[in-house]
Amino acid sequence: MTATTYAALAIFAPAGANPLVGPLFMYGAIFIIFYFVLIRPGQKQRKVHEALIKGLKKGDEVVTAGGVVGEVLHIKETMNEGTAAPTMEDRVTIRSGESKLIIERGRITRVIRPTVTGA
């Protein structure tokens, strides 16, 4: 190595310091930024969507992932071992126009609650 290379290394790595601390700190900071910008909001959004889908009931208007809009007629819940909670594989019968469709609960993207107006 030449003298200029040693001088450059001396500037960026002070004597006695571990040269791995800087990159580790940088990678840690990047991970923290990604966590708070991408991962955490996605987890919150997924929890809200799952709660909305699990609260589905007869009479709700739904929009499927394919864009089909319909009204819920019947929900057939399947029970998994050890859990009594509804799963995303449950079958939901909806009416869209004059057709009846059977879809999976997990394919519902949006729920539109009917508004009750008092007379």
Q: Give me the CATH number covering residue 61.
A: 2.30.30
107 belongs to a structural domain: yes
pLDDT tens profile 69-101: 999 999 988 776 666 666 667 899 999 989 999
* Cβ(34)–Cβ(87) below 8 Å: no
Integer angstrom CA distances of residue 31 from 24, 43, 45: 11, 16, 20
Structural domain count, the chain: 1
27 belongs to a structural domain: no
Q: Report the mean per-residue pLDDT for the chain.
A: 82
pLDDT tens profile 24-39: 999 999 999 999 999 9
93 belongs to a structural domain: yes
62 belongs to a structural domain: yes
The pTM (predicted TM-score) of the whole model is: 0.62
The yes-or-no verdict on residue 113 having pLDDT over 70 is yes
88 belongs to a structural domain: yes
- Selection from 116, 98, 12 nearest residue 59 by Cα: 116
84 belongs to a structural domain: yes
83 belongs to a structural domain: yes
100 belongs to a structural domain: yes
pLDDT at 86: 66
Q: What domain range is 71 assigned to?
A: 55-112
